[in-house]
Structure 1
Amino acid sequence: MTEAVIIDLFHGQLLTDSQVTWLREAIIRNYATKKPKHVFIMCKQQSPKSTSNSAQNAIINVLEKFGALKEVIETVAEPSMAAAFYRFKREIDELNLSTVKIIAPTPRKAILEAYLDLLFTAVYQFEFEVLPDEPESMHIESPGPGHCRDGETLAGQQLEQIKREVSTFLGQLPSLRGDITVLHSSLIDVCFLHGFTTRTGGISYTPTLSSLNLFSSSSRRDPKAVVAENIRRLSQKAGFDQESYRRVQVDHGSDVWIMGRREPESYDGIVTNQSGVTLVAPGADCMPLLFADPVQKAIGAAHAGWKGTLLGVAMATVNALVSEYGCDVKDIVVAVGPSVGSCCFTLDQKSAIEFHEINPKCVREMDSAKPYVDIRLATRILLERGGVLPHNIQDDSGSSESHNLGLCTACHADKFFSHVRDRNNFGTQIGFISIKEQKEK
């Protein structure tokens, strides 16, 4: 069922009386159902230096012809399509709406779909309704990438122009919740660039995603373009090349990709000895794990939730470093990034028993229906059993804020994202590591 309606008049269409009448009837038709609708008209904001206000006057005239209906219509006037769609998205996100009807001329459909693909996710459902076309009365002020013939797709140049427009617009937005803060491990050598992100300093505005969300999925409201801008800002702050960003393709398993070999569809660990490549492990209660061998100059990153922990993803990553790059397990250091603590994480009895079998200290209230489980302790125990030296594992709070890796993500809403706390529309932080490129003397 349609929850919101947006009428695209962005490129200065001059509407005939019959088109206005059709729009008026369309709005009434959408209001005829029991569920109230939210109606928006999207148009171009005139520059203060502009000598012509014809487009704006046309919108005013259209609204006047709607009569009493104009009281239920909100005008979204912005200088660019990217800004207009972004404002519209914020409006419907605040209302928690996701089903939208777009009324637009047929030649505009391809261009609008390009913006939708960049600024929305599969959470939103869009239905197009064609504004009756009367060519003799239609006028497009900016032919640019403004329209296509019916059924025609955008040319590559047009699509790149839209991507640049969206990227430029997002790049100008202010950071939210303060500056980007990166936590570091005191164990990882200075020859490596590394860190664990917190939630501050990005542009994501949805409360549970605000503000440095670093992952987009079909089930969340943060689109890829916004996440890409967050990553760009992080890369500038941290000093890595955004183009070298390599994130594990999470499957909650224990497979490890050796960079240089064929990349599998999914894996939870990744290792390399290439300099300048940034390995990335996501986390939102799950642990982002970073591995470094300062002797052989090899690194790894892994994502470890409770399933991956039981399957042994941490030692699988260590073993990959040993077998592929000749690392000595005693030289490898492991930093466990922020994750959910045993204070907040529970599992069913059957799963908790498997952690109890690793070590009884990994489980509290074992006799309850939902025992509390310590995935961090289990990871340390499994790493030590695999030969990693105890003092080469950092998994708890350090002595200073910049080394504080042991805070519970579910407890500290001001610092971290958490699936346990925020449920489905949750944000994601990351751990990242790269081998610094040697400068020529």
Structure 2
Amino acid sequence: MTSTTSLQVAVIVDLYPPPDIHTNVQHNDQLWATVSKLRLNDLSSYDVVRLYVLTSSPDDANTSLEQAGVSGEDVEVKVLATDDRIRAFYEAKQALDTEEISDIRLVCLDLQRQFWAEVCQLLFSEVHHWTLESVNVPALTSTGDTQDNHHAKHEPVLQSVQRFLTTLPSLLGDPEVNRSEMIPRGVFVHGYSTRRGGVTVIPTMSSMNLVYVSRKRDPRLVIDENRRRLAQVGGFDYTNFHIIRTEHGKRVWVVGEEQPVKFDGLVTNKRDVTIAAAGADCIPLLFADPVAMVIGAAHAGWRGTVEGVAGRVVQTMTKEFGSDPKDVRVAMGPCVLPGCFGVLPDETKCFADIDPSCVVPDAIFGSHVIQDTDGSNDVNDAKDLAKSSASGSSADCNEDGDCEASTTADSNRIVENSQKDTLIDRQHEHSPAQNTNGDGRPLASQGPAQRTAVSPGAQGGLRKDRVAVDLTRTNRLILEREGVLPEHIDTSTALCTRCNPHVYFSYERDGFPFGNQIGFICMPSVQRE
């Protein structure tokens, strides 16, 4: 990867002929003339110009490059040859995202301008600053279409892009759903995702990133595709789906009422509506009342934790739908555990005010090494995942990088494969890694380890100015004070995000940009087995 101090720009050149249109070498000459003009004028201030040539014929592209006098001495050239122009464009996007390039110029025939404008709008995010440079070629001849209507009989661009995304291989293994035994199956559909099984290739967001953020490189359609794949395994309708909009507070939205701009909790009694909470160190909590038939979800960062968002969800379930807190079941999902997260000394007071045991200055930090001992990010090499007691209060991260419960109760995590409904003891078995794009080529990203040098949050060890706190214990105590029974609170799915880089996203470990896993829950209208 080029130094981040270099000013880089990507130029994407479309050599595909428009559908039903005859082109010739003169048209390519005009495209290259536009590229040359860009290089001499608009791009002269850039340190590095990366040229991505989209074509169905690598031989024709190389000939065209040679005739245009383009060489690798003054510009870095990559020819992307495939029969699918959207696939070629997406490969170019993967490459420029790997290089962290945000400035993009796309050069095409004027007849293709509308098509590429739609593709760019769909597959770029707000991080990408793109412009189109189109070449008007009046001499183009068609086989029956005019410039105004030749797209009309072809598949809409949105559908073409969505269909293409479904063909991408799942990265880092198959999608997984980890479930808590506390929440009754059949009555409720619920679970926690991992980072495996999605299509995102950006290192710290690969691969099952499930939250769209405008400051990140994943476009909405990639997030939608990741959600679609998770929904297939999780058994929910991703088109009837609501997720928290984080403000790190205690605001709770009752689905169906006017939606606030930001909120960290959701509650509903509606059937077939999936609600979800995201996390990347913060705790995603799921709530289920099998008596009143009400569900809830909450995102509890440290601020939301001490403000009592978990308790506020229980209060809302009680006030709006008549839940008895004694009937409410709660599961806590993957989060950062004691020793791997801390707050400033003057911020510990709000934890100590809840209970002194919520501050754990002697907690042991987990591994200082993000990579496995052999330097790889192979899922098969990941250390055994932690055990946590369903009734235990917290877990610590030991020096080996695993998270151990304060009790030794066995609580195997349940993982469901997309191909078959199989219960897997994750203490002993791991999904095979998929470290290629499906055609033998290596992934554009190989995991979060490469980002440690540039991500302050990725450095090993708890910062010296921080004091460790226990988020899971704090939320447990708050829930118990709201009347939730201790035996109805499950922390077995609260594995340490920071200590398991091959399984979970973690902001504390990877810095920005980071991916998000989620916890989801719904009540199906037809009870399932």
TM-score category of the 2 structures, normalised to the smaller one: 0.7 to 0.9
Q: 2:429: which partner in 1? A: none
Inter-CA distance 25–383: structure 2 relative to 1 (3 Å threshold)? same
* Native 8 Å contact 1:219 1:424 kept in 2: no
> Could you tell me which of 184, 202, 206 is aligned with 1:206?
202
> Quick check: 1:91 aligned with 2:86?
no
1:248 Cα deviation after fit: 1.7
Distance, in Å, in 2 between the alignment partners of 1:67 and 1:204 is 35
Inter-CA distance 406–57: structure 2 relative to 1 (3 Å threshold)? closer
> Quick check: 1:169 aligned with 2:164?
yes
Distance, in Å, in 2 between the alignment partners of 1:380 and 1:26 is 60
**What per-residue deviation string (whole Å, max 9, x for no partner) do you get for residues 285-331 of structure 1?**
11111001111111111111111112211111101110111111111
> Could you tell me which of 100, 123, 126 is aligned with 1:122?
126
After superposition, residues 33-48 of structure 1 pair within 5 angstroms as 33=45, 35-43=47-55, 45=56
Distance, in Å, in 2 between the alignment partners of 1:118 and 1:20 is 26
* Native 8 Å contact 1:384 1:390 kept in 2: yes
Question: What amino acid sits opposite 1:311 in the alignment?
Answer: E
After superposition, residues 299-378 of structure 1 pair within 5 angstroms as 299-365=295-361, 369-378=465-474
1:179 Cα deviation after fit: 1.5
Q: 2:487: which partner in 1? A: 391
**What per-residue deviation string (whole Å, max 9, x for no partner) do you get for residues 238-294 of structure 1?**
111122211122221111111222222221111111121111111111111100111
> Over aligned residue pairs, what C-alpha RMSD do you find?
2.8
Distance, in Å, in 2 between the alignment partners of 1:204 and 1:92 is 14
> Quick check: 1:382 aligned with 2:388?
no
> Quick check: 1:406 aligned with 2:494?
yes
1:107 Cα deviation after fit: 4.5
Q: 1:50: which partner in 2? A: none
Inter-CA distance 160–364: structure 2 relative to 1 (3 Å threshold)? farther
* Native 8 Å contact 2:333 2:495 kept in 1: no
1:372 Cα deviation after fit: 1.0
Distance, in Å, in 2 between the alignment partners of 1:271 and 1:142 is 56
- Structure 1: 5+ residue runs without aligned partners? 47-55, 398-404
Q: 1:51: which partner in 2? A: none
> Quick check: 1:431 aligned with 2:519?
yes
Q: 1:415: which partner in 2? A: 503
Q: 1:111: which partner in 2? A: 115
SS in 2 for 1:381: helix
Distance, in Å, in 2 between the alignment partners of 1:118 and 1:260 is 29
Question: What amino acid sits opposite 2:127 in the alignment?
Answer: V
1:76 Cα deviation after fit: 2.1
SS in 1 for 2:118: helix
- TM-score normalised according to structure 2 size: 0.72
1:350 Cα deviation after fit: 2.7
1:58 Cα deviation after fit: 6.0
Distance, in Å, in 1 between the alignment partners of 2:35 and 2:506 is 44
Whose relative contact order is higher, 1 or 2, with alpha carbons under 8 Å and at least 6 apart? 2
Distance, in Å, in 1 between the alignment partners of 2:143 and 2:88 is 17
Distance, in Å, in 2 between the alignment partners of 1:309 and 1:109 is 50
* Native 8 Å contact 1:20 1:65 kept in 2: no
> Could you tell me which of 16, 24, 49 is aligned with 2:36?
24
Distance, in Å, in 2 between the alignment partners of 1:231 and 1:223 is 13
SS in 2 for 1:208: helix
SS in 1 for 2:518: strand
SS in 2 for 1:3: strand
1:70 Cα deviation after fit: 6.3
Distance, in Å, in 2 between the alignment partners of 1:379 and 1:143 is 64
- Structure 2: 5+ residue runs without aligned partners? 1-6, 363-462
Inter-CA distance 159–286: structure 2 relative to 1 (3 Å threshold)? farther
> Could you tell me which of 227, 236, 242 is aligned with 1:240?
236
Distance, in Å, in 1 between the alignment partners of 2:239 and 2:175 is 20
After superposition, residues 221-260 of structure 1 pair within 5 angstroms as 221-260=217-256
* Native 8 Å contact 2:109 2:137 kept in 1: no
- TM-score normalised according to structure 1 size: 0.86
1:409 Cα deviation after fit: 0.3
* Native 8 Å contact 2:176 2:230 kept in 1: no
Question: What amino acid sits opposite 2:188 in the alignment?
Answer: F
1:385 Cα deviation after fit: 1.4
Question: What amino acid sits opposite 2:88 in the alignment?
Answer: A
Question: What amino acid sits opposite 1:9 in the alignment?
Answer: L
* Native 8 Å contact 1:193 1:434 kept in 2: yes
Q: 1:134: which partner in 2? A: 137
